[in-house]
Structure 1
Amino acid sequence: MSDPLNPEQLRSLTPLNVLSEQQWRELRSQLVPRPLLAGQLLFRHGDRAGLTYYLLAGELLMQTPDGQQQRLVAGSEASCHPLSPGLPRLHEVRAATDASLLVVDTATLDRLLTWRLAYQDLLLELGHNHADVEWLERLLQNPVFTKVPPSNVRSMLERLQRIELAAGTTLLREGESGDCCYFLESGRVEVIRGAGSEQQVLAELEVGACFGEEALLADRPRNATVTLIEDGVVLRLARQDFFSLLKAPVVDDVALGEAARLLAAGAQWLDVRLQEEYEQAHALESLHMPLQLLRLKARLLDKARTYLCYCASGKRSASAVFLLAQLGFNAYALRNGLDALPAVQRDALLCESGSGYLARSGGHTERSR
């Protein structure tokens, strides 16, 4: 069996290249190249499998239902993007030569991508305010935060109670009921299970670690005792806050037909994907403003105008609409994203070279090709 791809091999693949190394580790079992023999079919036109494909080596033949063919060569710019993205597939794809592919679960990739871009927005803002971004990034890498909808992260950070404690302080006791969880900001803590001669040290936790969340999620007594072994600082999150922040907020969304009515009344498409995704294909006259930069560039938007946000699955656009609503804008998400549209509608909406607008630094927008 082949080894998983390393980070250097992933840096050219959009949008995999924006994920963190910890997120790549979460995908590790999927980052193993798969062979495809010459002449072998990868998928047919209309295929709806929720998988994202990248060509790593060799050549593929892509054919549309009307017989138009395109040859995709590994190492080309086109091969750095997902193969025939969107569902249902618009091509039949076969291996023209022996080939190697990367196959990733689309839902998992989209979840990780939405999370990464949403908290990048937060880190950028806090960095401008001279906050300790490096420590906060380590905190946000904690798996616990992946259970929190991206739009709730800011609220979660606001609800954390900062507590300074001395070495020897016991924060959690095995067998007690759980009313909170903690994040370690500084210092060291020791996790111990059992008592007396049966006592066993399970771990020493690093800065950014979360502890106590298992008792909350499973609604069971604490399964270990946690004690500071040097002076430190923890951030406490109460049980009720923990569960309220796990709930995804409701955002306004519209079907394509309703979006067309709003566009006729003066609304504008807002593309919240990465620039590389936008350049592959975008809606005519759309404004590109990626999710991770949305808060910083929102000043370029007009509060008298309605914005229609779109992305592949609807997850990033939902986060964008939630953010824009907080900032006082009128916005809707395209329901379930581009991938939910029938192929004919998606083709009519997106174009490879139609003009749009790019949000640039310095407070202005410019036309795109």
Structure 2
Amino acid sequence: MPVDTHSELARTIRQLIPLSTLPSNLFARLCAQIDIESAEQGQYLFKRGDKNSDLYYLLNGSINLQTESFKIQNIKAGSDSARFAIAHQIPRKVDAVCDSRIQFLRLNTAMMKMVQETSYEENESTMMFEEVADSDDWMTTLLKSPIFRALPPANLQKILISLQQIRFNAGDIIIRQDEPGDYYYIVKKGRAIISRRPSPTAKEIKLAQISDLDTFGEDALISGIPRTVSITAVTDMCLLRLGKEQFIELIKQPTLKYINFDELHDLLSADAELVDVRSPDEFKKSHLARSINVPFFSMRMYLKTLNKSHPIILVCKDGRISESAAFILLQHKFNALILKGGIDRMTPDQLKAEPASFNIDDGTETGNFSEPSKENTSLQLETMPQTEDQATEFSQVLQQLKAKCKKLESENMTLELKCSSLARQLESAKLELDKLKSN
């Protein structure tokens, strides 16, 4: 029997993970398809070894997860554990036995496919995520992140069970530049400053501020390089942290996607963009043709200049920095792919193959252009630089235009904020004027 989306039962179902992140229209569709089932005390929901991939959620009552020898866990409806699918490892590792009369929800493969294929490109204004009982529910808010929404339910459960809560006082240094990465952090409450020293003797530069529900610490865990920034608490802070091994197993490995050199041609032909995330000096010495340089340290500043409608292929020396860059892009709803192994893994034959598109350049920046093909070159010849000097000049002009666009975007944002402030002041003045007229 379908579930009324305005009922208390629907509100309970709405808190289940990952259903809590569904847009309202898809949640309503799901409610129209589901049936609430019941089982009596002593009945089995499933047994060890079962390969049925359905997801089971406990709505009322309690169940025991157990083996032949002992009881592992008792799950009660309404608990944090009950927000997740019950023991969703296939094949099943435990028996699920009703400890009382229960009501439960079973989601089959077709229903879960609808949940998992929810588009990240949907207009945020139509998402209309429902509030759950706790108006400050950091868990539900966090699960709206593209990274977490893409993870399997079993991974989400392990992550949220494994998170450790830790507190810092204002002024405490949470992570230090140049130290090895050990944890991935989620800000539950508080504010901190991100800073960096360009050299050991240089003055520390403040880069940005982070606050509630922001995450940090993943760059060093993904790339394996030491921390590149320091983070210092501005206020008293409550953080949640996940250890390095768990982050790699539960978040990094299922999230990042790789391609081989052989796949590069087809993807570029289908309008993918090739982005080299090494430093400008490394890029200038040699790089793949048709690549553009967006250094990793400035990746976050260039997000608005990148096209979300096309896949973005990331390349670096050995693939490690590309992994960190891909994680940033995925957090902002880009389709990011990593050229596995980077330039170091390419064979001499691969570097020589298709010289018009994929050779390593001699140091002259080519921007996002390759040499014209022999067929149908008239239009290309009209728009392409004809010499290396022209190509260099063209690239420099392109970079200058990008910098100007960036500056204009910033100025536009500032003006929009000023306009918004003036509109509020005008509205306030009108109210005061109306009061004076009425007197």
TM range (shorter): 0.3 to 0.5
Find the structure with the greater CA-based Rg.
2
More helix by share: 2
**Structure of higher RCO (CA pairs closer than 8 Å, 6+ residues apart):** 1
Q: When you count strand as a share of all residues, which structure comes out higher?
A: 1
